[in-house]
Structure 1
Amino acid sequence: MKKIAAGLAVALLAVTLLGPSDGYAKKTTVSEIDKQLKKLQQEVQAAKAAQEQAASRNQVAQHYKNKTTLNLQYVLDQIAQVKGEMTTISGKIASTEQSLNVTAAELDEAEARVASREKLLESRVRLMYTDGAVSYLDVLLSSTSFSDFLDRADSLKMIVDQDQDLLVQHKLDKQTVIAKKQELEGQYAQAKQLYTDLESQRTVLKEKEAEKQELIAYYDEEINEADEVNEEQNAKLVQLASERSALEEQKDKIKAEEAARKAAAAKAEAARRAAAAAKAKSSRSVSSSSSSSEYAGGNGPFLLPVGSARISSGYGYRTHPVTGEVGKMHTGVDFAVPQGTDIHAADAGTVLVAEWWNGYGNCVIIDHGGGVWTLYGHIREGGIKVKAGEKVDRGQVIAESGSTGRSTGPHLHFEVRIDGKTVDPMPYL
């Protein structure tokens, strides 16, 4: 929608400026044209400001996209690390479950032994309850002989030792198995908790990954929108330059007509003022030659703007050397020349642009008439030798080469435009 609106605005402006009838053109004054030129200049400044803002947005978005991409890689590395830890913990959980199963079997066996001992102890208690309490001393004193006494003493000792052993083993079995089971259950619970924590951490990281992907998509959209605005404003600047050229031609025509009228008036008084008539005739001759808008270079090829320099990049589609974009249209020819090399006008004409111009850096555009322009880009700082509106001659030094704007090194970017559209410059050189 923005492009359509901008296109309609430019088209309406073009109709307003370029489509008047002959009668209207005669009524237009130099002062009115100057006002229109001033308005055009304001629009040029606005377009350039919008272009610079778009370039700034592009740069900021690219910075944050690069930063977010690095953060995304860090999050992905963390996800991989947590996934590896989860695999290790999962193995520990499986191993602990296996140990718990073994311990459960051991506990069953120990409980069986404890139950067996409890039955034996219960039977002894019942026996003592049924037969009554019998004192170990009564048993010894009821001996029939000394040898019987010794036998009874040995038997009593064995009974006491056996009872003591039963009680000790009973206690140890229970304590050992219960302690081991509690230890394994603690390890199992710890491993399960750690696995849960890692799963929670992994979920958070996945959310962060999705967040980073959304941010990258957002910055990509910002970059694309900024590029669209940049291209839109670039097209508008070309259109405004064309309209300015048309107004300048109309202004020259009006001046020529005014000069002709003055010359005619002076010629009417030729008898009385012969000297004035001669001067008016000379003025008409000069004005008429300066007002011509025909393409001066039509009878021969353009001059090479920097002599027979090496061509480092030709006209057509290529991989952009700065952005790396594949299939990017290169709208001119690059001449590899050192910093500060003199740049000559390819032919006579009127300077349309002599200032910073977006990706071209410091730039000069010359209108040669007949809708033919030449463009000279990447001029060094302080290297522009002409100004907008100035008439230049064929071969005149107009600037010095540099590397301003979107450039990888010192060179001259040279374009030929026909009715505002770029063409291959080589057939014109």
Structure 2
Amino acid sequence: MKKIAAGLAALLLVATMFGPSDGFAKKSTVADIDKQLQKLQQEVKNAKAQQEKAASRNQEAQHYKNKTTLNLEYVLDQIALVKGEMSTTSSKISATEESLNVTATELADAEARVASREKLLESRVRLMYTDGAVSYLDVLLSSSSFTDFLDRADSLKTIVNQDQDLLVQHKVDKQTVIDKKKQLEGQYAQAKELYTDLESQRSVLKDKEAEKQQLIAYYDKEIRVTDDISEEQNAKLVQLASNRSLLEKKKDQLKAEEAARKAAAAKAAAAKAEAARKAAAAKRVASSGRSSSPSVPAYSGGDGPFLLPVGSARVSSGYGPRTHPVTGEVGKMHTGVDFAVPQGTSIHAADSGTVLVAEWWSGYGYCVIIDHGGGVWTLYGHIRQGGIRVNVGDRVERGQVIAESGSTGRSTGPHLHFEVRVDGKTVNPMPYL
């Protein structure tokens, strides 16, 4: 920004140095002005390089903003997807908690059964220890009769079967307790993993969303900065064109004065020679010497409204505030009128004048500016590459083909951007057409 301000200050100095004055015409020559025009052209090239750099930065920032916006949309879609997964996960956690409650109840029941049987086994062992060891054979041999023997055998069989069942059930319940404990631990671990995964997904998505929002804010700032540079460069374009117009006019004035001086000297010499050869015709020669010198005709600026530069064409965007079709900025000032025409359509000079600019200029792409005199210019933007048909300094006539339409610079498609400027400031072109 400081470089741009310094460049504008230098241009204002040039305008001061070459402003119209009596001393300027006396001290400057056409060669001097040509040198100044060359220096001015170098300033134009430098300004153009800065604009192209700013435009490149702007386009790059816009590209990455669009790309980041798409990534953000993807992240938001993922957030919506994860929300659905979170709902499913919450259902799984609820089911797991319910299973944990059921398992805890089954574990408590199994532990109660094991404890009860352990008490029974302890009482049986305690009884056998108290009464002494009595073998099953002793019980049978002490029978008083065969019937008593059979009764005792049945009783012993029942006791043995009960003891075996008790031991089997006790073993099964103990294994149930072990299995339920393992199942309980697994379910707790699963629930913990589900909660951990849920929080992890939330954290990652929040980080990604914040990152994308920061990037978009950064690129928005970059776009605003480069747009500001373009606005200042546009002001610089006006100043450069004004200085160039001033120098060209002064150059034409000096050429006209030089031509007048040469013509006067030639006439004086011819008059003197004629007087010497033909003394008898002195009066006629003297009369010839009093004839007026040729003068340079002044530019009149045309005798009617400007021509429509592309003939009959649809107006696709008028003059004034609008939503920018490329950046999407609301309320952006549209400094001209857009005519929707196909690529390569001939562009005609709206009126006669002198070409001030015929080259690339930032958002205008390739453009032509014509000075019609009286501080009135016309600008023709977005010309196709290779489509400029005039050069800086050329005199063009009303209706002359000066270029071909295109879509260079900041443009969404082929069209002609047409401006009318009065004293460097844009005005609504429609009343002039």
- TM-score w.r.t. structure 1 length? 0.88
* Kept in 1: contact 2:271–2:288 (CA 8 A): no
Partner of 1:285: 294
Partner of 2:379: 375
Q: Return the alpha-carbon distance in structure 1 between the equivalents of residues 287 and 173 of structure 2.
A: 138
| Residue 420 of structure 1, CA deviation | 0.8
Pick from 341, 344, 349 the counterpart of residue 345 of structure 1: 349
Q: Return the alpha-carbon distance in structure 2 between the equivalents of residues 345 and 242 of structure 1.
A: 19
* Kept in 2: contact 1:33–1:251 (CA 8 A): yes
Matches within 5 A, 1:255-404: 255-273=255-273, 284-285=293-294, 288-289=296-297, 292=298, 294-297=299-302, 299-404=303-408
| Residue 396 of structure 1, CA deviation | 2.7
Partner of 1:56: 56
* Kept in 2: contact 1:270–1:277 (CA 8 A): no
| Residue 22 of structure 1, CA deviation | 2.8
Of residues 167-176 and 108-117 in structure 1, the stretch that sits farther from structure 2 once superposed is: 108-117
Q: 1:403 to 1:3 in 2, by over 3 A?
A: same
| Residue 39 of structure 1, CA deviation | 1.2
* Amino-acid identity (%): 80
What secondary structure sits across from 2:374 in the alignment? coil
| Corresponding letter in the other structure for 2:248 | E
What secondary structure sits across from 1:285 in the alignment? coil
| Residue 273 of structure 1, CA deviation | 3.7
Q: 1:337 to 1:105 in 2, by over 3 A?
A: closer
Q: Aligned residues, how many?
A: 424
Deviations 1:197-221 (A, max 9, x none): 3322331232122111111111111
Q: Which runs of 5+ in 2 are unaligned?
A: 276-284
Q: 1:392 to 1:214 in 2, by over 3 A?
A: same
Q: Return the alpha-carbon distance in structure 2 between the equivalents of residues 4 and 383 of structure 1.
A: 29
Q: 1:363 to 1:277 in 2, by over 3 A?
A: farther
| Residue 144 of structure 1, CA deviation | 0.5
| Residue 6 of structure 1, CA deviation | 5.0
| Residue 21 of structure 1, CA deviation | 4.5
Matches within 5 A, 1:161-310: 161-273=161-273, 284-285=293-294, 288-289=296-297, 292=298, 294-297=299-302, 299-310=303-314
Q: Return the alpha-carbon distance in structure 1 between the equivalents of residues 224 and 135 of structure 2.
A: 105
| Residue 399 of structure 1, CA deviation | 2.8
Of residues 149-158 and 89-98 in structure 1, the stretch that sits farther from structure 2 once superposed is: 89-98
Q: Return the alpha-carbon distance in structure 2 between the equivalents of residues 37 and 394 of structure 1.
A: 26
| Residue 354 of structure 1, CA deviation | 1.9
Q: Return the alpha-carbon distance in structure 1 between the equivalents of residues 216 and 344 of structure 2.
A: 41
| Residue 324 of structure 1, CA deviation | 4.2
Q: Return the alpha-carbon distance in structure 2 between the equivalents of residues 358 and 218 of structure 1.
A: 23
Matches within 5 A, 1:129-148: 129-148=129-148
Q: Return the alpha-carbon distance in structure 2 between the equivalents of residues 233 and 382 of structure 1.
A: 23
Q: Which runs of 5+ in 1 are unaligned?
A: none
* Kept in 2: contact 1:51–1:234 (CA 8 A): no
What secondary structure sits across from 2:309 in the alignment? coil
Matches within 5 A, 1:27-42: 27-42=27-42
Q: 1:72 to 1:280 in 2, by over 3 A?
A: farther
| Residue 120 of structure 1, CA deviation | 1.5
| Residue 422 of structure 1, CA deviation | 1.0
Q: 1:23 to 1:117 in 2, by over 3 A?
A: same
Q: Return the alpha-carbon distance in structure 2 between the equivalents of residues 314 and 26 of structure 1.
A: 47
Partner of 1:44: 44
Q: Return the alpha-carbon distance in structure 2 between the equivalents of residues 249 and 419 of structure 1.
A: 16
| Residue 94 of structure 1, CA deviation | 2.8
Deviations 1:33-68 (A, max 9, x none): 222111111111111111111221122222222222
* Kept in 2: contact 1:356–1:363 (CA 8 A): yes
Q: Return the alpha-carbon distance in structure 2 between the equivalents of residues 278 and 326 of structure 1.
A: 71
* Kept in 2: contact 1:86–1:195 (CA 8 A): no
Q: Return the alpha-carbon distance in structure 2 between the equivalents of residues 279 and 202 of structure 1.
A: 101
What secondary structure sits across from 1:296 in the alignment? coil
Q: Return the alpha-carbon distance in structure 2 between the equivalents of residues 351 and 155 of structure 1.
A: 131
* Kept in 2: contact 1:314–1:334 (CA 8 A): yes
Q: 1:168 to 1:277 in 2, by over 3 A?
A: farther
Q: 1:139 to 1:337 in 2, by over 3 A?
A: closer
* Kept in 2: contact 1:103–1:177 (CA 8 A): no
Matches within 5 A, 1:50-129: 50-129=50-129
Deviations 1:273-302 (A, max 9, x none): 45999999999525x22xx3x5423x5332
What secondary structure sits across from 1:144 in the alignment? coil
What secondary structure sits across from 1:302 in the alignment? coil
Of residues 189-198 and 133-142 in structure 1, the stretch that sits farther from structure 2 once superposed is: 189-198
What secondary structure sits across from 1:376 in the alignment? strand
Q: Return the alpha-carbon distance in structure 2 between the equivalents of residues 90 and 148 of structure 1.
A: 69
What secondary structure sits across from 2:338 in the alignment? strand
Q: Return the alpha-carbon distance in structure 2 between the equivalents of residues 187 and 59 of structure 1.
A: 55
Q: 1:117 to 1:303 in 2, by over 3 A?
A: closer
Q: 1:408 to 1:281 in 2, by over 3 A?
A: farther
